[in-house]
Amino acid sequence: MNPEKKILTAEALFVLGVFVYLFFSTTPNAVSPISGQVVSDPDFIFEIENGEEILIANDEAFTNPILLKEGDDLTLPPGTYYWKVKGFLRDS
């Protein structure tokens, strides 16, 4: 293998590594409330990282989700809800 081809291969692996790192380091993350937490305060705030929107549903399959964006207010009746963070490329 000639030296130029070795350098191009090394550069390609480096660039691929950077993309893989960025993909995994920017994973949307649901911070609060945590799984299983009972929320009784009507004025609580969702805390997220690396996300743009929040999906809320009353079933784990998210068949009819409610989409929340920053600044949105929502009143839900008492019950069990599931939520996840929607990012640019994927969900939490």
User: What pLDDT score was predicted for residue 81?
Assistant: 92
Dist. CA 9–CA 3, nearest whole Å:
10
Q: 78 preceded by cis ω (within 30°)? A: no
Place 1 in a pLDDT band, splitting at 50, 70 and 90.
low
> pLDDT of 31-80, one tens digit each?
888 888 888 887 888 888 888 899 999 999 999 999 999 888 888 888 89
Tell me the C-alpha distance between 28 and 51, whole Å. 5
Residues 8-33 as b or e (16 or more Cβ within 10 Å = b): eeeeeeeeeeeeeeeeeeeebebeeb
For the record, the structure tokens of 69 come out as 């964006």
